[in-house]
């Protein structure tokens, strides 16, 4: 953390203190106070805080209370500091403003200059600083990149200035206007003294090292006015710059060669002597290193910078121009060939790489994906180039005439495009309009739902149901075929066969030619159901639902008729859905079915377990999680509840089943620290972080160190942990440990507004929002990956689909789907441009072009909900933080032999690696009891 303390006018009129955080997390007021207390431990505790706030920190009165107050903007008639502020339950990031701090409406008022003012008039302050300095100190949390920039401007802008005139009342004196107006500065006595003694006004630590970038022979040269030009040109020192010497060091210095550093990493190990112009080995102190920015319009200099940011240990400009032993004619060409820039022919490259696998069926799917997601500038050219490769399988068929082949290929591409909501004629691949096939003529939603194939095994599933499942099955099927309404909730602990039951229901209805829609709250859960889609995408439920949101499905649309035709709708993991989603869904069905009866009189089967994780509420507290749950929605009381109780997943291990139930219901005995004791047999003992993690890795992935590879093992063995950043760390560690040569793929980050590109480029590379793939993606042959976008849900490619990466080339990944209905289907995945989501509160919106995947040796506990795994390694670096998480993690396993926990002790001195907290909200348990 950096701390910048700035006194605008010297003490005691200290005006502004800003804590600058090196990440952009918001601090709560409490956390902020804690930092201040740690920084300045000698607070003046005797001063009465309330009196101090009243004396120094009340704004106004202004606005209608006193329109003449100095803060009032005359033209608009409002306070320029926007007082009184709104009350807020929690601190949040403001929109183009300081944060909106928590401001509670306590109802308390105080009299200030004859007016009653409440909490909304208090200026943000810190109790400690107020107590210590007994003066007005406005404190703001610096939580946004824009504020950070403002902060630097503020430090350097100097004194406040004023222009004033001195007027002489003697009318006889001639007025000299020029002389009369003076430019002056406000300097208070303390500041004057501060400056006279040359005390530091600002301090920055650590030092920032700015690394120069220039093209060959275009370095900046400084010289004295009267120097001879030949002397300057012939002086070898003049030519030396940080960059030329960086090259030189990489060529000649043993340490530099061994370290093989990027330009930006170099000052960490070497220090630049600007007088003697050389890099010497660094002895102490750390720096923050920044390569000066270049705007993309600068052309070659910009591409040179791009290369310097990614090429390790370059020895010369010529070295940077080399790609696979071949010299390029420009830095741009080199950047393109290294895949660091979206080149004009990247889609052609992608297709030709994929064509080399000779898999025409997958190639046609890739072509369709490129048309939809990558927006090629000339689709016809791409088609003409690869028509041959995409037709190979049709050519082998004796039954098709040569002239028919082109139409067959285009028809297949059209079918795929159709499943993605597009039509081949949009792209004008051939001059003629293509007659659409019967399949593509039918509305895509209806076509795909009707053509879901139900295997004989699935049709027979109902015969394998246990007693409870069968009762539920009979009630629901009866309702479906008697055309009566039914809104059910299937409740049951993890592993009691809720999904198994849905599958039996779906198979029965579909095998009779009726439509049954399978949906789930999360993408991962949806990918387990045959023909499953997320409820959001199936019913077009907006991500941000508020009271004013209206239905996005027109009554005349194909989707509306599909929903109307559906005999059965299944919605898994409804306990994870925000109650507003269900209210929206109810209104949607009522509207489409023209009735006021619950869920439009349809047979709807929800399922889930309220003892597992609840709806995610960003920055939410316990009450928010509870309030957003379906349990606290008026619909809950109207649902017919059906209970499943036999744990089918772990039925071979009844002791483990009992243990899971106690964890689920919060009934496991607590120790003196209010934690539960985990049985020793489930624990991986904690020694050092690294050593213990290695142990967990080898237990979870026993084939880790062997040269042989067992795909089955990586598909159904997973490490679960609480937070996304832990997941990333573990994935990064595991990819290095698995056998094989890793290949890294660097993304391309572009700001939405091109003017911001040079300014934010380096920052964007460091951002790792969960909705986007990592900037640097490291993959190995056969590693497990997870798709991050709905590329084609009808063909098993949804957000959350797990795949095995078979092979990779620069522009295309070859992979196989690892789970669900489409298991083992081969697919090509191209790099696609992905937009960051507004939801993630990033400093700037941007587009990242990268393969839309993440590694998935490890995943978050919440993502694993609904899955059955053969082995679960649970890593609790921090205890679970929300309701049901521990239970979800443990209950993914089929028996106690298939689960291991690694618990990091709460403090470095503690050796408690076997107890942890189990969060179970009583309010939820009570409400969920039927």
List interacting residues with ligand ATP (CB under 6 A).
464-466, 469, 492, 494-500, 609, 648-649, 866, 868, 891
| Nearest distance, CB of residue 454 and ligand ATP, angstroms | 17
Measure the CA–CA gap between 830 and 783, rounded to whole angstroms: 17
| Nearest distance, CB of residue 574 and ligand ATP, angstroms | 12
The DSSP output letter for 632 is G
| Token code pair at residue 811 | 């522009």
Nearer to ligand ATP, 4 or 648 (CB): 648
| Nearest distance, CB of residue 506 and ligand ATP, angstroms | 12
| Nearest distance, CB of residue 869 and ligand ATP, angstroms | 10
| Nearest distance, CB of residue 568 and ligand ATP, angstroms | 17
| Nearest distance, CB of residue 500 and ligand ATP, angstroms | 4
Nearer to ligand ATP, 355 or 648 (CB): 648
- Are 113 and 22 in contact, with CB atoms under 8 Å apart? no
Q: What are the residues facing 860 on neighbouring strands?
A: 721
Measure the CA–CA gap between 178 and 9, rounded to whole angstroms: 29
| Nearest distance, CB of residue 889 and ligand ATP, angstroms | 11
Measure the CA–CA gap between 920 and 930, rounded to whole angstroms: 17
| Nearest distance, CB of residue 493 and ligand ATP, angstroms | 7
Nearer to ligand ATP, 500 or 606 (CB): 500
Question: 454: which residues sit within 8 A by CB, 6+ positions away?
Answer: 506, 507, 510, 511, 530
Nearer to ligand ATP, 504 or 719 (CB): 504
Measure the CA–CA gap between 503 and 158, rounded to whole angstroms: 71
How would you label 459-495 residue by residue, b for 16+ Cβ within 10 Å and e otherwise?
eebbeebbebbeebbeebbebbeeeeebbbbbbbbbb
Measure the CA–CA gap between 806 and 248, rounded to whole angstroms: 41
- Are 876 and 722 in contact, with CB atoms under 8 Å apart? yes
Nearer to ligand ATP, 469 or 721 (CB): 469
- Are β-strands 802-808 and 812-817 bridged in parallel, bridged antiparallel, or unpaired? antiparallel
Nearer to ligand ATP, 609 or 749 (CB): 609
Nearer to ligand ATP, 351 or 576 (CB): 576
Measure the CA–CA gap between 901 and 861, rounded to whole angstroms: 13
The DSSP output letter for 602 is -
Nearer to ligand ATP, 473 or 808 (CB): 473
Measure the CA–CA gap between 551 and 586, rounded to whole angstroms: 11
Nearer to ligand ATP, 651 or 743 (CB): 651
Nearer to ligand ATP, 155 or 925 (CB): 925
Nearer to ligand ATP, 716 or 799 (CB): 716
Kind and range of the H or E run holding 608: strand 603-608
Measure the CA–CA gap between 507 and 500, rounded to whole angstroms: 11
- Are 514 and 446 in contact, with CB atoms under 8 Å apart? no
Give the rounded distance of the alpha carbon of 127 from its chain centre: 35
Give the rounded distance of the alpha carbon of 618 from its chain centre: 12
| Nearest distance, CB of residue 464 and ligand ATP, angstroms | 5
- Are 263 and 311 in contact, with CB atoms under 8 Å apart? no
- Are β-strands 717-721 and 532-534 bridged in parallel, bridged antiparallel, or unpaired? unpaired
Nearer to ligand ATP, 424 or 648 (CB): 648
| Nearest distance, CB of residue 474 and ligand ATP, angstroms | 14
Q: Which residue is nearest to ligand ATP (CB)?
A: 497
Nearer to ligand ATP, 221 or 645 (CB): 645
786: phi then psi, degrees, rounded to nearest 5 = -125, 135
| Nearest distance, CB of residue 648 and ligand ATP, angstroms | 3
Please return the burial class of 181, using the count of CB atoms within 10 Å of its CB with bins 0-12, 13-18 and 19+: exposed
| Nearest distance, CB of residue 673 and ligand ATP, angstroms | 29
Nearer to ligand ATP, 7 or 613 (CB): 613
Q: What are the residues facing 834 on neighbouring strands?
A: 848
Measure the CA–CA gap between 5 and 357, rounded to whole angstroms: 61
| Nearest distance, CB of residue 379 and ligand ATP, angstroms | 42
Please return the burial class of 127, using the count of CB atoms within 10 Å of its CB with bins 0-12, 13-18 and 19+: middle
- Are 712 and 844 in contact, with CB atoms under 8 Å apart? no
What is the SS3 assignment for 640?
Answer: strand
| Nearest distance, CB of residue 799 and ligand ATP, angstroms | 18
């Amino acid at each position: 953390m950096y701390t910048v303390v700035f006194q605008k006018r010297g003490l005691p009129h200290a005006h502004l203190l800003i804590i600058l955080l090196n990440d952009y997390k918001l601090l709560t007021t409490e956390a902020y106070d804690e930092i201040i207390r740690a920084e300045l431990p000698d607070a003046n505790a005797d001063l009465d805080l309330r009196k101090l706030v009243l004396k120094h920190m009340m704004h106004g009165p202004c606005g209608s209370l006193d329109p003449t107050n100095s803060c009032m903007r005359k033209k608009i008639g409002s306070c320029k500091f926007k007082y009184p502020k709104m009350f807020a339950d929690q601190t949040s990031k403001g929109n183009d403003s300081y944060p909106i701090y928590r401001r509670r409406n306590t109802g308390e008022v105080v009299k200030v200059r004859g007016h009653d003012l409440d909490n909304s008039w208090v200026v943000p302050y810190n109790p400690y600083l107020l107590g210590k300095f007994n003066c007005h100190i406005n404190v703001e949390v610096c939580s946004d990149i824009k504020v950070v920039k403002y902060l630097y401007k503020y430090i350097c802008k100097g004194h406040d200035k004023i222009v004033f005139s001195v007027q002489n009342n003697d009318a006889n004196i001639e007025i000299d206007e020029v002389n009369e107006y003076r430019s002056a500065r406000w300097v208070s006595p303390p500041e004057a003294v501060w400056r006279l003694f040359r005390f530091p006004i600002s301090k920055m630590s650590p030092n920032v090292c700015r690394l120069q970038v220039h093209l060959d022979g275009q370095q900046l040269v400084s010289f004295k006015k009267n120097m001879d030009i030949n002397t300057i040109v012939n002086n070898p020192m003049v030519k030396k710059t940080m960059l030329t010497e960086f090259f030189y060091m990489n060529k000649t210095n043993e340490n530099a060669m061994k370290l093989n550093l990027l330009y930006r990493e170099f000052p960490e190990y070497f220090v630049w002597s600007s007088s003697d112009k050389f890099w010497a080995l660094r002895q102490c102190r750390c720096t923050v290193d920044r390569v000066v920015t270049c705007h993309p319009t600068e052309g070659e200099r910009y591409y040179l910078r791009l290369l310097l940011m990614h090429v390790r240990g370059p020895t010369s400009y010529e070295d940077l121009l080399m790609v696979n032993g071949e010299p390029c004619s420009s830095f741009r060409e080199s950047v393109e060939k290294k895949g660091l820039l979206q080149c004009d022919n990247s889609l052609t490259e992608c297709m030709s790489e994929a064509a080399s696998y000779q898999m025409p069926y997958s190639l046609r799917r890739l072509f369709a994906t490129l048309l939809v997601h990558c927006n090629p500038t000339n689709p016809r050219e791409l088609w003409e180039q690869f028509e041959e490769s995409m037709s190979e399988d049709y050519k082998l068929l004796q039954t098709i005439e040569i002239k028919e082949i082109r139409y067959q290929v285009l028809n297949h591409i059209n079918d795929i495009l159709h499943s993605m909501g597009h039509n081949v004629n949009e792209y004008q691949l051939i001059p003629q309009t293509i007659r659409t096939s019967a399949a593509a003529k039918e509305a895509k939603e209806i076509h795909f739902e009707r053509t879901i194939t139900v295997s004989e095994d699935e049709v027979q599933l109902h015969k394998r149901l246990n007693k409870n499942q069968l009762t539920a099955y009979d009630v629901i099927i009866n309702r479906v075929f008697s055309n009566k309404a039914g809104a059910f909730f299937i409740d049951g602990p993890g592993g009691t066969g809720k999904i198994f039951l849905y599958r039996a229901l779906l198979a029965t209805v579909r095998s009779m030619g009726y439509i049954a829609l399978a949906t789930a709250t999360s993408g991962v859960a949806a990918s387990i159901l045959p023909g499953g889609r997320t409820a959001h995408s199936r019913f077009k439920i907006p991500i941000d639902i508020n009271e004013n949101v209206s239905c996005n499905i027109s009554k005349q649309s194909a989707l509306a008729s599909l929903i109307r035709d559906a005999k059965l709708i299944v919605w898994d993991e409804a306990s994870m859905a925000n109650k507003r989603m269900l209210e929206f869904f109810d209104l949607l069905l009522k509207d489409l079915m023209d009735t006021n009866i619950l869920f439009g009189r349809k047979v709807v089967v929800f399922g889930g377990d309220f003892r597992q994780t609840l709806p995610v509420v960003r920055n939410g507290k316990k009450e928010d999680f509870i309030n957003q749950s379906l349990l606290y929605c008026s619909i809950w009381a109207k649902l017919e509840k059906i209970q499943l109780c036999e744990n089918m997943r772990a039925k071979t291990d009844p002791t483990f089943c009992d243990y899971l139930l106690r964890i689920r219901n919060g009934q496991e005995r607590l120790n003196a620290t209010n934690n539960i004791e985990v049985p020793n047999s489930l624990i991986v003992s904690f020694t050092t972080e690294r050593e213990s993690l290695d142990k967990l890795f080898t237990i979870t992935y026993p084939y880790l160190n062997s040269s042989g590879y067992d795909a089955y093992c990586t598909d159904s063995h997973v490490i679960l942990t609480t937070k996304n950043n832990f997941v990333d760390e573990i994935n990064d560690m595991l990819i290095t440990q698995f056998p094989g040569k890793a290949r890294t793929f660097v993304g391309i980050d572009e700001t939405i507004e091109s003017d911001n590109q040079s300014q934010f480029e380096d920052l964007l590379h460091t951002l790792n929002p969960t909705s986007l793939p990592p900037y640097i993606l490291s993959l190995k042959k056969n590693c497990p990956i997870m798709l991050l976008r709905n590329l084609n849900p009808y063909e098993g490619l949804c957000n959350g689909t797990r795949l095995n990466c078979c092979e990779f080339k620069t522009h295309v990944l070859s992979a196989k789907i690892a789970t669900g209905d489409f298991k083992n289907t081969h697919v090509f995945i191209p790099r696609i441009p992905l937009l960051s989501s507004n939801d993630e509160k990033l400093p700037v919106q941007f587009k990242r072009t990268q393969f839309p995947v993440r590694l998935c040796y490890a995943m978050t506990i919440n993502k694993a909900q609904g899955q059955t795994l053969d082995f679960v390694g649970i890593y609790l670096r921090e205890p679970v933080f929300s309701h049901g998480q521990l239970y979800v993690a443990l209950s993914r396993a089929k028996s106690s032999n298939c689960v291991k926990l690694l618990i990091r002790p709460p403090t470095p001195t503690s050796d408690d690696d076997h107890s942890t907290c189990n969060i179970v909200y009583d309010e939820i348990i009570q409400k969920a009891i039927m």
